[in-house]
Amino acid sequence: MTRSELVTALAERFPQLSPKDAEMAARAMLEAMGDTLIKGHRIEIRGFGSFSINRRSARVGRNPRSGEQVMVPEKRSPHFKVGKALRVAVDTGVMPESNDTDN
């Protein structure tokens, strides 16, 4: 699913949202998630999964062409761990009932 497909799905599911409002909501959510990960914090969405940062220490590597040693700097990369409810839903092909009463 692309971001534009997400915006379309939001606008269809919530008719009170105009496509422009759905776009702003999706953009705000994704920006907030990105900012949180950039700061090194963890994001947990119950029933869906969690996003965290994996750190890889600096190390000595080798240039494959010359065999010369090269320092590889520390890296941080985002990591997603799927939640149990989503894992079961994907496996069975059935999404569990939502506990959301605000609809």
pLDDT at 102 over 70: no
Given a cut of 80, whether residue 23 has pLDDT beyond it is yes
40-88 pLDDT tens trace:
999 999 989 999 999 999 999 999 999 999 999 999 999 999 999 999 9
Mean pLDDT for all residues in the chain: 91
Contacts of 85-90 spanning 24+ positions with Cβ under 8 A: 85/47, 85/48, 86/47, 86/48, 86/49
List CB contacts of 100: < 8 A, sequence separation 6 or more. Answer: none
User: Where in the chain are the domains?
Assistant: 1-40, 42-96
Rounded Cα–Cα distance for residues 57 and 75 (Å): 7
pLDDT value at position 96?
72
Asked if 53 contacts 90 with a C-beta cutoff of 8 angstroms, the reply is no
Give me the CATH topology for the region 42-96: HU Protein; Chain A (4.10.520)
- pTM of the model as a whole: 0.74
